[in-house]
């Protein structure tokens, strides 16, 4: 990293803004800021709502704004201690993001890539094999790659399974490392019924943090997880501790969300921010 572990770091997060729905940038910005990081943003698109469960939403593509923003940052000498990418809307955006990483990273910067493109064994609407191929290339730049099981399967050309053993998970991680990812945080890994967890592969070593599995999930928890992980990691936590802090925080958010019947569109991440701040500062 370009500064000591306790210093005030500047992180850039690149993903879309869904104005309503508690996901992407509306989650990443407050969570990263709460973790004590100077949080800079590059919106890839602006949507009136997210795309899960809503119809007729507006969509403004900001792809062609990206190169000019990058050039202005370069002119001003702006450099980032970390770059964290989330949902990207097209293969062209992935190439622009790759350029931004190459040209605006400070010395020793940390790249955290969430290849947000699939869940439950299926690609998100609008994504295809070309997008997957482009994401595979971006994985080469990942100091920390944070996929779920579905995304790992698409990135490594493995069959998606809902029941599996450690050998299957090891195969996925080995495939991700073969793409060039230095370290991998694989989420949603469930070996036994009623439990799920995170496999952390860092510096060639595996560890696993297991926690209870709540049957009723929430939209946007992947964004919450990756943001909390990035925030804790940049504040000097080990990858295992950052993965654990993020998992515990997501669990709190899901539990909070279940207390309100009409809150189907996202996870209530704000009430538990204090717990996240305490964990990051511990």
Q: Helices marked H in the chain — which ranges?
A: 25-34, 66-76, 91-104, 129-138, 149-156, 166-179, 221-234, 239-257, 273-281
Cβ atoms 257, 220 nearer than 8 A: no
Tell me the C-alpha distance between 52 and 57, whole Å.
10
Rounded to two decimals, the pTM is 0.95
Whether 172 maps to a domain, the answer reads no
Whether 105 maps to a domain, the answer reads yes
| Predicted pLDDT of residue 259 | 81
Cβ atoms 66, 93 nearer than 8 A: yes
Q: Is residue 253 over pLDDT 70?
A: yes
Whether 195 maps to a domain, the answer reads no
Q: Which of these ranges, 104-108, 127-131, 151-155, 218-222, has the smallest mean pLDDT?
A: 218-222
Sheet harboring 80-85: ordered strands across?
A: 59-61, 38-49, 10-20, 80-85, 105-113, 144-145, 183-186, 195-202, 205-212
Whether 158 maps to a domain, the answer reads no
What is the C-alpha end-to-end distance of the chain, expressed in Å?
20
Q: Is residue 7 over pLDDT 80?
A: no
Q: How far is CA 55 from CA 49, 50, 72, in A?
A: 9, 9, 36
Whether 209 maps to a domain, the answer reads no
Whether 193 maps to a domain, the answer reads no
pLDDT band at 128 (very low <50, low <70, confident <90, very high): very high
| Predicted pLDDT of residue 2 | 39
Whether 180 maps to a domain, the answer reads no
Q: What's the domain range around 245?
A: 10-142+215-275
Tens-digit pLDDT profile for residues 217-251: 778 899 999 999 999 999 999 999 999 999 999 99
Whether 203 maps to a domain, the answer reads no
- Which residue in the block uniquely carries the two structure tokens 């996202």? 266
- Which residue in the block uniquely carries the two structure tokens 């297991």? 210
The total number of structural domains that make up the chain: 1
Tell me the C-alpha distance between 257 and 196, whole Å.
19
Look up the CATH number of the domain holding residue 45.
3.40.1190.20
């Amino acid at each position: 990293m370009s500064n000591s572990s306790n210093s005030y770091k500047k992180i850039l997060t690149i993903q879309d803004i869904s104005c309503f729905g508690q996901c992407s940038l509306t989650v990443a910005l407050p969570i990263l800021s709460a973790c004590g990081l100077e949080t800079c943003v590059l919106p890839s698109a602006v949507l009136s709502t997210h795309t899960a469960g809503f119809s007729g939403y507006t969509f403004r593509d900001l792809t062609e704004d990206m190169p000019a923003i990058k050039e202005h940052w370069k002119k001003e000498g702006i450099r980032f201690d970390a770059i964290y990418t989330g949902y990207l809307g097209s293969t062209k955006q992935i190439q622009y993001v790759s350029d931004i990483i190459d040209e605006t990273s400070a010395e020793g910067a940390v790249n955290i890539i969430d290849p947000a493109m699939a869940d439950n064994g299926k690609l998100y609407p609008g994504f295809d094999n070309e997008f997957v191929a482009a994401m595979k290339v971006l994985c080469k730049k990942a100091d920390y790659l944070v996929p779920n099981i579905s995304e790992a399967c698409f990135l490594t050309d493995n069959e998606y399974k809902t029941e599996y053993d450690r050998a299957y998970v090891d195969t996925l991680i080995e495939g991700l490392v073969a793409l060039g990812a230095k370290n991998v945080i694989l989420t949603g890994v469930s070996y036994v019924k009623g439990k799920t967890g995170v496999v952390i592969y860092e510096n060639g070593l595996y560890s696993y943090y297991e926690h209870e599995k709540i049957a009723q999930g929430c939209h946007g928890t992947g964004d919450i997880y990756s943001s909390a992980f990035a925030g804790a990691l940049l504040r000097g936590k080990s990858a295992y501790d950052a993965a654990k802090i993020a998992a515990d925080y997501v669990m709190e958010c899901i539990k909070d969300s279940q207390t309100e019947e009409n809150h189907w569109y996202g996870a209530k991440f704000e009430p538990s921010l204090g717990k996240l701040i305490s964990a990051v500062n511990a």
